[in-house]
Amino acid sequence: MKEQTPAPVADFTNKYPVFTPEMKATHTILIPDMLPWHFDLLVHVMEKEGYRVEVLHNEGRAVIDEGLKHVHNDTCYPALCVIGQYLDALKSGKYDPDRTAVLITQSGGGCRASNYIPLIRKAMAAEFPQVPVLSLNFSGLEKGNSLHLSVGNFVRLAYAIFYGDLIMTCFNQTKPYEKEEGSTARVRKQCVEAMKKALDGGQYKHLKKCARYILDAFAAVPVTGEKKIKVGIVGEIYVKYSPLGNSHLEDFLLSEGCEPVVPALMDFILYCVINNVNDEKLYGKGKKTAWLFTIVYKWLYGRQKKLISCMKKTRYEPLHDFEHLRRCADKVINQGVKMGEGWLIPAEMAALAETGTENIVCAQPFGCLPNHIAGKGAVRAVKQLHADVNIVPVDYDPSATRVNQENRIKLMLATARERMHAEH
């Protein structure tokens, strides 16, 4: 019998441009506008490491249409927005494609967010094949083509997230009540610049000192004593924070005379870390690394508790204690449900309801499995625990109009106002 020649194995290595160490000095890295409260500090850390970084703020229908050319509208709305921003920016003429790269974060979980890289590379191959696609992750993904930061800078990034969370929370608890228009925004800028200086030196490690600076700065803003409706924002990580993804939801709530209540980004980081610990306990997976994630979790959680302790000494409602969030989740859903934002969504809804934020927007990309199952699907269970909670799931996708989204929220606010007037 004639010996058969083995079929050739396809070689997919080096089929796309790789970001080399030399490019650090020559390339501008574009980042989609996902974290308006945190990127000022996070980008500052990256720039101090020698990277040239720019956060994109381009919006409009042109951005969505660019995304639709390369991403099916049933795939993932955040992926569509991100790719649309990249392509719209590269076509603007502002950037030299030969000296530009793009960066996306990856959580490493089962959500499609961990699989954006192939979608982005496919779009780039069609339009700008010379542009490298970089990953920022803590899961060992995209080895050889991820952002290289020292351990010290990862620590700085963690503190930057803590300070970004605190600035966001204090701003949202001050802005709706300010007596002088623009005074809260000025303090926000002041605090961001102060934290940048702290991150440049060793002062950033003095968490209590930095936290007190931020808390005292916002507390000095003259405010009214009126009562306003609090509206929590939970959901998929991109549309939860990104103005492009959620049609400027925080600005809309402020314009409606409400106080936006946005859970901390560090909660999502802790959620991703503890899921790796839970994997070992629930499924016997990751035994070799579970101990490391346990150490990281204890370190991050310890600093979160210090931050909460500082806030309890002021007039500001403190951030959620993450261990309390886990207990809230256990009342609604198992912590083994961890696709995408998984159990974190019902946990945040329950924690918000407990602390007086009974009106909640669950922001979800259309067709996002974690949000429809763990978000919209958990609403009934949360209402059984908190009868007065008023939750409205809002879909965000390329065909949804901002008017329809805002009208849904206005209906929720109408109910909230009726309740508030009835109480008085």
| Residue pLDDT, tens place only, 153-176 | 889 999 999 999 999 999 999 999
Query: Domain locations in the chain?
Result: 21-149, 228-263+320-423
**Fold assignment, 228-263+320-423:** Rossmann fold (3.40.50)
Give the integer Cα–Cα distance in Å for 362 and 236.
8
Please, what's the b/e burial string for 212-234 (b: 16 or more CB within 10 A of its CB; e: otherwise)? ebbbebbeebebeeeeebbbbbb
Q: How far apart are CA 80 and CA 191, in angstroms?
A: 33
Give the rounded percent of residues in the chain with a pLDDT score beyond 90: 69
Q: Is the pLDDT of residue 320 over 70?
A: yes
Specify the pLDDT at position 400.
Answer: 84
* pLDDT score recorded for residue 137: 66
Tokens at residue 401, please? 């109009």
Confidence grade of residue 368 (pLDDT, cut at 50, 70, 90): confident
Q: Please check the confidence at residue 1 and state whether its pLDDT lies above 50.
A: no
Portion of the chain with pLDDT greater than 70, in percent? 92
Q: What is the pLDDT of residue 140?
A: 60
User: What's residue 399's pLDDT?
Assistant: 86
**Is the pLDDT assigned to residue 2 strictly greater than 60?**
no
Q: Is the pTM of this model over 0.85?
A: yes
pLDDT-derived band at 201, boundaries 50, 70, 90:
confident
pLDDT greater than 50 at residue 3 = no
Query: Mean pLDDT in the chain?
Result: 89
- Tally of CB atoms within 10 A around 399: 11
Per-residue confidence (pLDDT) for residue 116, from 0 to 100: 82
For the chain, the first-to-last Cα distance in angstroms comes to 92
Say yes or no to pLDDT of 142 above 70: no
The predicted pLDDT at position 135 comes to 82
Residue 171: closest CA among 161, 158, 184: 184
- The reported pLDDT for the residue numbered 141 is 63
> Is a pLDDT exceeding 50 seen at residue 284?
yes
What is the model's pLDDT at position 190? 98
Q: Is the pLDDT of residue 5 over 80?
A: no
Burial of 302 (0-12, 13-18, 19+ CB in 10 A): exposed
Residue carrying structure tokens 């600005």: 251
Residues 382, 370: Cα–Cα separation, whole Å: 16
Q: Among 14-23, 202-211, 345-354, which is the least confidently predicted range?
A: 14-23
For 7, list phi and psi in degrees, rounded to 5: -65, 140
Q: Do 21-149 and 228-263+320-423 have matching folds?
A: yes
Confidence check: pLDDT of 325 > 50: yes
Q: What is the mean pLDDT of residues 349-362?
A: 94
The pLDDT tens digits of the residues spanning 109-133 come to 666 666 788 889 999 999 999 999 9
Range in 34-43, 109-118, 272-281 with the lowest mean pLDDT: 109-118
pLDDT number for residue 409: 95
Average pLDDT over residues 37-45: 94
Cβ atoms of 272 and 136 within 8 Å: the answer is no
For domain 21-149, the question of CATH label 3.40.50 is answered with yes
**Residue 135 near residue 146, CB atoms below 8 Å:** yes
Sheet architecture: strand order including 390-396: 259-261, 230-235, 359-365, 390-396
Looking at the predicted structure, is the pLDDT value of residue 11 above 80? no
Kindly tell me if the per-residue pLDDT of 12 is higher than 50.
no
Of 139-148, 302-311, 362-371, the range with the lowest mean pLDDT is 139-148
